[in-house]
Amino acid sequence: MPRPGHIPGAASLYWTKALASKEDPVLRPPAELRALLEAAGAAPGDTVVTYCRTGVQASHSYFVARYLGYEARLYDGSFSEWSARDDTPVEGPPAATPAP
């Protein structure tokens, strides 16, 4: 990444957290998924914008948000595009990527 970090105001929710487990890669029950999004700061009725480094993992999070009834947007340029621009703010050091 040209400028490591994250988009200001973004909260991290790694996409695999929505899965039951690595051995059973199905979605968690809706109540658990809602609790994950709410713990990340997405209140019912909020618009959720998903992004990652290149947009691939963010598409899974977009699906989950839509599945739960959130208004959702996918920033398909993701952080690769954002961090390459000179006119966009970047916050903090790069987030550690949790092991799958």
- Catalytic center residues: 52
**In angstroms, rounded to a whole number, what is the distance separating the alpha carbons of residues 41 and 21?**
23
User: Which residues 6+ apart lie within 8 Å of 23 measured at CB?
Assistant: none
Residue type at position 88: T
Q: How far is CA 80 from CA 15, 27, 41, in A?
A: 18, 27, 23
Helix pair angle (56-67, 30-39), 10° resolution: 120
